[in-house]
Every structure is written in structure tokens, then in C-alpha cells.
Amino acid sequence: MSSAGISVAKEDGVAIVTFAGEPVNAMSLAFWKELLATVEGLDADPEVRAMVFHSGLKKSVFTAGLDIRELYVPMTNHDRVYEFWATLSEALVKIYSTPKITAAAIKGACPAGGCVLSLCCDYRAITADGSMGLNEVILGIPVPHFWAQVFASVTGQRQAELLLQSGAMPKAPELLKIGMVDAVVETADEVLPAALKEVRKWLKYRDASRAMTKMSLRGPLAERWHQGIEWESDMVWQSLNEPEAIESLTKVLKMLAGGNAPAAKL
């Protein structure tokens, strides 16, 4: 396992990518660098036909989302934020557009970065106690442009407007109803097998035909997203420098630190 808590196991053409960075799989710069390298390697591996992402945490959490410290301007700097956003964007675009089959086996809570990673996959299963959404508005920052586009491509425009502007985190039954997930299972022990079972159904089909169909559906957004990474990085940096955003994230970090002031620098 890497220092970012990411490991890979391969079986019969399927790569199982496990996130086990205790306690909550915080998606730091180190996490995204490792994930990008992992996905690029699997994408180039002719023996791998599918990737399944899941959580190996002790608690019922897929990932708690982006590491807030990476977004907190007093703790970071311009160059690091740009590197952070470019790296995570490259990883997400790769997952979204890879010709391989992708699935997310979601255990429990899956906000923000974990949500968009899951939405980039072809198939999603979640536990009955799970919840998922892009809740950035509640944290005092806007939902990133291309994240909103991916979200709307899954839920439809109207549902995206309602859910994203309110920072909603729908529970499993609602997620299934609106198409954000494709299956709900009762326990954490069932979610990875459920995702693998569906992936193996897809493996019966010819890869080239399926991949070309996928690219017809996802290619235009993938291209706009890739071309817009620098522009979106600018937008993110500007939004993070807003006094209201800094104030809001200060409160979040104090809460996470048990009421103590945030550290000076990463």
C-alpha cells in the first residue's frame, strides 16, 4: 500500500483499487498524485479490462472528500492549489473517459470529491446507510464547473439545480431513485461483490464496441473538461480567496481540530 493509502489487486482482468487512508480517506495532493499514477498505469495495462474503486476504511465512509487544508488559502499557496486542482482534474477526466469499465463500490458517506469520482464511473453500488452529493455550497464555496456538468449529466438539469444549490446529500433510496447509484445493498460486506458481479456481466461484451459507445456518450464533456482544467483552476483559486470562503473554511477546520486554530501551513 502506498503512503496515500491506495492499493491495487488484480483478478481475472479486474483491478480492485482500494482507498484505505485512515481515518477518512482525505483526498490530499498526495492522494490525487497516487490515484492519477495508478489509473494511468491500469489504463495502459492490456491485461486490465475493468477498475473497481472501493473503501478499505474501518468506518462506513467511502471518502470524506477533498482535504480541506488543500483549499484553505492561509495554509496553502497559489502554486500548490493549481497543482492540486490540475492533478485531481487529470485523474477524474481519466476515470471518466477511460475505455476500461469502471465501477464504484460505495461504503457509507460519499461527499464532494468522492461523489464526483463515483459519478465518473460507469456503475455505482452503495450501502443502505450511504449518502452522496456535492455539498460545497454548505462549506461556503461553489461547486466546480465541470463537477456540476458531470453531476447534471447523471441526474438531469433540474435535479442538479435543486441538489447542488442546496448542498444536499441524498440517502441511498433517493440516490437510486434519481439514478446517482445503480444498486443498493444492505451491508458493507456486500457492496464490493455487488459491483464486481455487475462488472463481470459487462466483461462478456467486446471491449472495443462498448468503449466506442462510451466515448460517443462521454467524449464531448471529457474533451471540454480536459481543455478547461487551467480555466477551472483559475475559478477555484479566485473563489477560495473570497473572504466569506476563508471564514467558512476556518470554521470547518476549527471544528475538525476540536476547536483549535488551523495550522499555519501544510
Residues 6+ away with beta carbon under 8 Å from 194: 105, 125, 183, 185
Q: In sequence order, what are the residues at sequence separation of 6 or more whose Cβ sits closer than 8 angstroms to the Cβ of residue 91?
A: 32, 35, 36, 39
Mapping DSSP onto H, E and C, the string for 129-179 reads CCEEECCHHHHCCCCCHHHHHHHHHHHCHHHHHHHHHHCCCCEHHHHHHCC
Q: How far apart are CA 151 and CA 125, in angstroms?
A: 16
135 is catalytic: yes
113 in active site: yes
Catalytic residue among 21, 113, 114, 133: 113
Q: Is 179 a catalytic residue?
A: no
* Cα 66 from Cα 57, distance rounded (Å): 16
Residue tagged active-site, from 34, 90, 136, 198: 136
Give Cα 149 to chain centroid, integer Å: 14
Nearest to 218 by CA among 86, 107, 92, 82: 92
Residues 234 and 51: their CA atoms lie apart, in Å, by: 31
| CB burial of residue 9 (10 Å; 0-12, 13-18, 19+) | exposed
Active-site option among 108, 135, 139, 140: 135
Catalytic, 241? Answer no
Q: Which residues are catalytic?
A: 66, 113, 135-136
